[in-house]
Amino acid sequence: MLKKVASSRLRVGMFIHDLDCGWMEHPFLRNRFSITTEDEIRKIMASGIRSVTIDCTRGLDVADAPTVAEAEAATEAEVAAIAAKPVAPLRTTLAEEFDRALAVRRQAAGLVKTVMQDARLGKAVEMDKVSPVVENITASILRNSSALLGLSAIKTKDDYTFLHSVSVCTLLVAFCRSRKLDAATTYQAGIGGLLHDTGKALVPDAILNKPGRLTDEEFEIVRRHPRDGYDILRRSSEIGPIPLDITLHHHERRDGTGYPDRQGEHEISELAQMAAIVDVYDAITADRCYHKGIPAAEALRKMYEWSKFHFNPALTQEFMRCVGIYPIGTLVLLESGRLAVVVEPHETSLLTPKVNVFYSTKSQTYIKPETVDLARGVGFGGADKIVRHESPDKWQVDPLRFLQVA
């Protein structure tokens, strides 16, 4: 039986089934192992891991700890309560914005690649090239955020570093917009999001793309990238304090376990806290050479749990409303037995988005794709309901192919 246990209750003899954190946030070679020493428990605590999943059939039990199913049910009930808040209306349809969003994303990825190459050569960032890209991303988000947010889920392992920066910029701009921050602040945050990982230009590719666990020495090299990025960006007098702050502090954590300055809850700026949320969300949903990304809906629920210690809980909940309880691109199972991909949030209920249905689980065959508005009733193109989010791997389907219905 699998149970959720606070790290403070761990004992030698327990079997760790899941450390419940990002791959790059713990010092162990594996996610699953028996605890054989007190030092291993101290390492878990020092890494900022506040809860883990244990397997009671392979190690000691904690009698009063909730099962994983019970813990997930409690989280789901809390997440559902977050959904009841209006979201910003869209100005254009997904179909109208999709091709423009593709072009914007391609332009932005090319720019980040150039910035990284220039940084390796010791060149300053050219803001006259960065500014129009951030403006284009912002304009696309204002017209229809679903297009770029949906595309942010599509990444190749080879181009991850560049596309991650584009996604963080996109998500951060959308986050600022949903919080109704002013245009100037949103623009500066967008620059910070696009350039936040510039310091990774100084990390050897062999380390960035290493398929296995990093050594302690390699991990320390990676952990230098916020400070390195900050130093690189300071070479350009046109880059203001907000992008510099986001670059330096997007790995800080509310409980003081982050880096490089181990800032606490009241020391981290609001925009750096927002960037930290966005950065982790995008990282854990992406496939990397060293880990398989998790579905966006599952990632949000993990973020919600982690916010009790690592992130600002109120900001985390606002981010969940921003991207939707079922984010764009999420695979969901409907009551009708059909699989669908979420393509657009509803303006007043995040539990009833627009979806594109494309697969029947009953016949286990693809069906003619069609758009269904789950907020509508029988006879009005709706009359279905989300049962739960699903893993694409389970059904061996690619929901992102169906973001658009021809």
Residue 83 has pLDDT above 80, yes or no: no
Q: Which of 22-36, 107-121, 285-299 has the highest mean pLDDT?
A: 107-121
Whether 71 maps to a domain, the answer reads no
Long-range contacts, stretch 388-391, CB < 8 angstroms, 24+ apart:
388/332, 388/333, 389/295, 389/297, 389/298, 389/326, 389/330, 389/331, 389/332, 389/333, 390/295, 390/331, 390/332, 390/333, 390/339, 391/295, 391/298, 391/331
State residue 304's pLDDT score: 93
Q: What is the pTM of this model?
A: 0.86
Residues pairing with 54 in the sheet: 3, 16
* Co-location of 173 and 227 in the same domain: yes
State residue 111's pLDDT score: 96
* Co-location of 195 and 303 in the same domain: yes
pLDDT, mean of residues 275-282: 96
**Where a domain ends, among 304, 323, 342?**
323
Write the single-letter amino acid at 373.
Answer: D
Whether 83 maps to a domain, the answer reads no
Q: pLDDT band for position 91 (50/70/90)?
A: confident
More confident residue, 153 or 143: 143
Whether 362 maps to a domain, the answer reads yes
The CATH number assigned to the domain holding 257 equals: 1.10.3210.10
pLDDT, mean of residues 151-161: 80
pLDDT, mean of residues 87-96: 74
Whether 79 maps to a domain, the answer reads no
380: burial class by Cβ within 10 Å (0-12, 13-18, 19+)? exposed
The rounded percent of the chain whose pLDDT value lies above 70 is 94
How many domains in the chain?
Answer: 3
State residue 377's pLDDT score: 67
Write the single-letter amino acid at 187.
Answer: Y
More confident residue, 382 or 91: 91
* Co-location of 265 and 359 in the same domain: no
* Co-location of 280 and 373 in the same domain: no
**pLDDT, mean over the chain:** 89
* Co-location of 344 and 398 in the same domain: yes
Containing H/E element for 34? strand 33-34
Residue 380 has pLDDT above 50, yes or no: no
What 8-state DSSP symbol labels residue 66? P
* Co-location of 117 and 191 in the same domain: yes
* Co-location of 245 and 315 in the same domain: yes
Residues pairing with 4 in the sheet: 53
pLDDT, mean of residues 3-17: 92
* Co-location of 244 and 369 in the same domain: no
Domain housing 8: 2-66
Residue 396 has pLDDT above 60, yes or no: yes
More confident residue, 31 or 309: 309
Q: pLDDT band for position 153 (50/70/90)?
A: confident
* Residue (of 243, 245, 327, 248) closest to 284 by Cα position: 327
* Co-location of 123 and 271 in the same domain: yes
State residue 339's pLDDT score: 96
The rounded percent of the chain whose pLDDT value lies above 90 is 62
Whether 123 maps to a domain, the answer reads yes
Whether 352 maps to a domain, the answer reads yes
State residue 215's pLDDT score: 84
Whether 76 maps to a domain, the answer reads no
Q: pLDDT band for position 291 (50/70/90)?
A: confident
Residue 87 has pLDDT above 70, yes or no: no
* Co-location of 102 and 189 in the same domain: yes
pLDDT digits (tens, 9 = 90+) for 157-204: 668 889 999 999 999 999 999 999 999 999 999 999 999 999 999 999
* Co-location of 277 and 354 in the same domain: no
* Co-location of 133 and 240 in the same domain: yes
**Where a domain ends, among 291, 323, 355?**
323
Residue 114 has pLDDT above 80, yes or no: yes
**Where a domain ends, among 323, 354, 370?**
323
365: burial class by Cβ within 10 Å (0-12, 13-18, 19+)? exposed
pLDDT digits (tens, 9 = 90+) for 322-337: 998 899 899 999 999 9
Whether 78 maps to a domain, the answer reads no
